[in-house]
A and B are shown apart, each in its own frame.
Chain A
């Protein structure tokens, strides 16, 4: 035990003096969580407002044209930023990049609302839509469809009103626009057993926590490689210290580091993200919290074992930083850390199954979003533990081979 305590103390002191390692372990994921949660805030909310503004040039100034403007505003998906006086200034404003969309309501719009051919035999002047050509075509189409829909309800109202008038029914002179119930309900159909997709903070906190846990590769390899290059490992072996004890001496301190990361990241999700206007993280309660911690422990063991394997494979600190750093980024990219798995096409989702980071994230989501019990997380726990054991065995074998 004296030996293990000495090893743990040494690792802790060495880590506390490794500023780069500490930054990679603690500062980086906090920054990622804050930035990515804010950046992806809307991407995780179906039906959220689209941040594209439109202007209206009303050349008609009729009650009907004003009613259409109100109906468009009510729809709310696009932002009504301004009203312009004439089409030419509106065109110029698009060129200057001030608006992305301009809807022009021609003169006589109200009069000809229900007379497409025109009462006087003249063809009806169409509504004009000026668009910024760089605007996503899907958004152009969406605005066009929304305008058509608003136009449809306006016509229906007008038709009802005029029909009422025809049949002698009393009609208020300034009847309010009728509210048409939104009959379309959006349902996100997921291929992952239709779980509700995570919110931005629920995706980003566990994702970057898993990512940060795997970054123990930087400090672990920095110390192990110095130990090997400087002959310290030989000295320890000559002192009769088995290599597996040296590894055990690294497992516990970095396991604790991972758990501190977990507490910190959850703290950021609970208390700091709301300060920046984001949604607060919702953590499971009771046994759910225990299950959450079990996933956190399994991810940590996999991360530390993976780091020990990388440190055993690499000859120099530079190699370890490149192999470990790039390897982590790749694992994160395919494992749904950077781009959530549910947003990936099916082929990429299959590929994600090969990333231990994806197993960890899946475990966290199972606990946090589906509130499932121990049986549901058992497969990922076993996957992570098997990975940890395999990586540790490979690290021990490599070190024996190198010293033979």
Chain B
């Protein structure tokens, strides 16, 4: 659906490019995760896709047409949900939805239908007459998302859509977003929360310093050597076992061990049982997204 080919972008007066030859292929019908530390270039890429910036190099096509042409032909096909609460705090929820529906150019009847469907989608029925400035963080996020869906976009760009919400609202938002592809809206999702991306994205790209470090189906990216074992134990790992399996502490009672062969796993478990170490969690052959992210982007602080 969206093909980004060697796209570059440099801000005025910036020494280094914000995007440097980014190439991504984003298929329709899924939630695509865009990961990267602060300043990696995620928001710049989203801005280019939303038509707010123009790439200085490379080519972007949407359903086979150059992006600018596709946006001109179908202005509502790509929608942006910014990270900020991009609506009017002094207007009520209903007034905000009505305004943005009008700004999209939706005629009265269609606008009314879209507003009702967005209210139902984001479960805003109880607060339609409330000024937006009086809403809780979770409800504001839901309104922000609902506005993005008014034009029934084919591609929704979500920039950190769950910042500052309670766990219940986050779960609701994640479930709602995960369900969007089924109703015809593909999603590009940027977030710092790895578990969110792991939970709802089928494909991810990890970007840093304007370059794509890794891209592909989430399962394929996380699949790893089966001789690497991640453990969470009930007691400290005995020194002898740690030495034998070149164990690395991951904080607390979490360890990462290297087996000589995948077949050595049963013996390791027997040895742990004999040493009185209960195994509380065991992961083999699948890397954690956070590990992968940290490994690729290094651990150094970015700002």
Residue in B closest to A10 when the chains form the complex, CB atoms: B99
Asked if residues B86 and A239 are in contact (CB atoms below 8 Å), the reply is no
Docked complex Cα distance between A5 and B88 (Å): 16
B104 adjacent to A235 (CB under 8 Å): no
User: Would you list which residues of chain B between 3 and 55 have a CB under 8 Å from chain A?
Assistant: 12, 47, 50-53
Q: Return chain B residues, CB-CB under 8 Å to A231.
A: 82-86
Cross-interface CB contact of B12 among A6, A230, A404, cutoff 8 Å:
A404
B107 at the interface (CB under 8 A from A): yes
CA distance A226 to B90 in the complex (A): 10
B138 at interface, CB cutoff 8 A = no
Decide if B102 touches A235 in the complex (CB within 8 Å): no
Question: CA separation between A324 and B147, bound complex, in Å?
Answer: 32
Q: Which residues of B contact A177 (CB under 8 A)?
A: none
| Residues of B71-89 contacting chain A, CB below 8 A | 71, 75-76, 78-80, 82-89
A160 at the interface (CB under 8 A from B): no
Q: CB-CB contacts of A1-17 with B at 8 A, as 1s and 0s? A: 01101110110011001
For chain A, residues 1 to 46, give those with C-beta under 8 angstroms from any C-beta of chain B. 2-3, 5-7, 9-10, 13-14, 17-18
Judged by a CB distance under 8 angstroms, whether B116 is at the interface is no
Per the bound structure, the CA–CA distance linking A260 and B284 in Å amounts to: 74
Which chain A residue lies CB-closest to B82?
A231
The answer for the CA separation of A11 and B277 in the assembled complex, in Å, is 67
Give the residue of A5, A13, A230 whose beta carbon is less than 8 angstroms from that of B86.
A230
Taking a contact as CB atoms closer than 8 A, the residue among B76, B78, B80 that contacts A235 in the complex is: B80
Output the nearest chain B residue to A14 by Cβ-Cβ distance. B90
Please classify how large the interface on chain B is, using the bins under 10, 10 to 19, 20 to 34, 35 or more. 35 or more
**Interface range for A:** 20 to 34
B105 within 8 A of A: yes
Q: How many Å lie between the Cα of A86 and that of B100 in the bound state?
A: 84
A239 touches B52 (CB 8 A): no
Say yes or no: A18 contacts B82, CB within 8 Å. Answer: no
Q: Is the CB of A226 within 8 A of B103?
A: no
Q: Are B79 and A6 closer than 8 Å at their CB atoms? A: no
- A234 interfacial by beta-carbon distance below 8 Å: yes
A403 & B106 in contact (Cβ 8 Å cutoff): no
Is A238 part of the contact surface with B, judged by Cβ < 8 Å? yes
Indicate if the CB atoms of A238 and B80 lie closer than 8 Å. Answer: yes
* A235 and B147 contact, Cβ closer than 8 Å, known pairs A230-B84, A403-B52: yes
Contact B106 A226 (CB under 8 A): no
A10-B88, A13-B95, A234-B82 are contacts. A239–B102 as well, Cβ < 8 Å? no
Contact residue among A227, A230, A234 (Cβ-Cβ distance under 8 Å from B50): A234
Given contacts A10-B91, A240-B75, contact A235 B105 (CB under 8 A): no
Q: How far is the CB of A189 from chain B (nearest CB, A)?
A: 54
Name the contact of A237 in the complex, choosing from B12, B52, B91 (C-beta under 8 A). B52
Q: How far, in whole Å, are A238 and B82 apart by their CA atoms in the complex?
A: 10
A398 within 8 A of B: no
Residue of B with least CB distance to A249: B103
Q: Do A2 and B102 touch (CB < 8 A)?
A: yes
C-alpha spacing A28/B80, complex, angstroms: 41
Closest chain B CB from A185 CB (angstroms): 60
- Asked if A236 is at the interface (CB within 8 A of a chain B CB), the reply is yes
- For the complex formed, measure the closest distance between the CB of B130 and the CB atoms of chain A, giving whole angstroms: 13
With both chains docked as a complex, state the minimum distance between the C-beta of A136 and any C-beta of chain B, in angstroms: 52
Q: Which residues of A does B touch, CB under 8 Å?
A: 2-3, 5-7, 9-10, 13-14, 17-18, 226-227, 229-232, 234-241, 403-404
6 closest A-B pairs by CB: A6-B102, A240-B75, A231-B82, A231-B84, A238-B50, A238-B80
- 5 inter-chain pairs at a CB distance below 8 angstroms, sorted by A residue, are A7-B99, A230-B87, A232-B87, A239-B151, A403-B53
